[in-house]
């Protein structure tokens, strides 16, 4: 059975190849052939020749700018009347030390992620930092130690979480 299918498929491929090469206009021509002369059809009625088109209106010639010699200096371009945009202040390019709350360390990332989501639902800015094979959940960063202490009291009252205030190095944006 497989043999018959294989032979049938081969026959179809051969038939398509033969049709491709012998079908008019589909096969590429090999070697120099006779160039065909295009048939020129003579018009049955003679058409009178066209009249020449009207000349296009001439544009006025503009005077050429004067050339500036090597000793003469061209006048400077006029200064723009708009004021320059105000300068934007970029963040410092060095890491900054801020304060953060270390909530807890986890050995499993999934547990750390659950705690981070819980803190974010309460409206705190939380993140996870990996250090020495453990996943630390942090809240912050805070600009001052007083802000960190206020957040620590809030966490203890709402979620019964005892956090440690520590300095956090905020990385430089790339």
**Domains in the chain and their CATH numbers?**
96-169 (3.30.70.1070)
Q: Is the pTM of this model over 0.85?
A: no
Residue 137 near residue 106 (C-beta atoms within 8 A):
yes
Give residue 174's pLDDT: 61
Q: Decide if 133 contacts 107 (C-beta within 8 A).
A: yes
Listed ranges 14-23, 66-75, 131-140; the one with the highest mean pLDDT: 131-140
For 92-117, how does the pLDDT look when each residue is reduced to its tens digit (9 = 90+)? Answer: 677 778 888 888 899 999 999 998 99
Of the listed ranges 12-16, 20-24, 25-29, 101-105, the least confidently predicted one is 25-29
Segment 19-39 mean pLDDT? 60
How high is the pLDDT of residue 166? 82
The mean per-residue pLDDT over the stretch 6-34 comes to 67
Mean per-residue pLDDT of the chain:
74
DSSP states along 102-169: EEEEESSHHHHHHHHHHHHHTT--EEEEEETTEEEEEEEEESSHHHHHHHHHHHHHHH----EEEEEE
């Amino acid at each position: 059975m497989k043999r018959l299918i294989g032979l049938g498929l081969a026959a179809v491929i051969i038939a398509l190849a033969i049709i491709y090469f012998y079908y008019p206009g589909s096969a590429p021509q090999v070697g120099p052939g006779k160039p065909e002369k295009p048939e020129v059809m003579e018009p049955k009625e003679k058409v009178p020749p066209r009249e020449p088109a009207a000349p296009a209106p001439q544009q006025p010639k503009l005077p050429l700018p004067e050339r500036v010699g090597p000793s003469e200096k061209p006048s400077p371009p006029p200064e723009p009347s708009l004021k320059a945009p105000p300068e934007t202040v970029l963040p410092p390019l060095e890491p900054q030390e801020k304060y953060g709350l270390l909530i807890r360390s986890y050995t499993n990332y999934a547990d750390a992620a659950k705690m981070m989501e819980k803190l974010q639902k309460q409206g705190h800015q939380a993140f996870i930092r990996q250090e020495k094979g453990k996943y630390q959940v942090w809240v912050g960063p805070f600009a001052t130690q007083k802000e960190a202490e206020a957040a620590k009291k809030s966490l203890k009252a709402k979620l019964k979480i005892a956090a440690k205030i520590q300095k956090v190095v905020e990385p430089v944006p790339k």
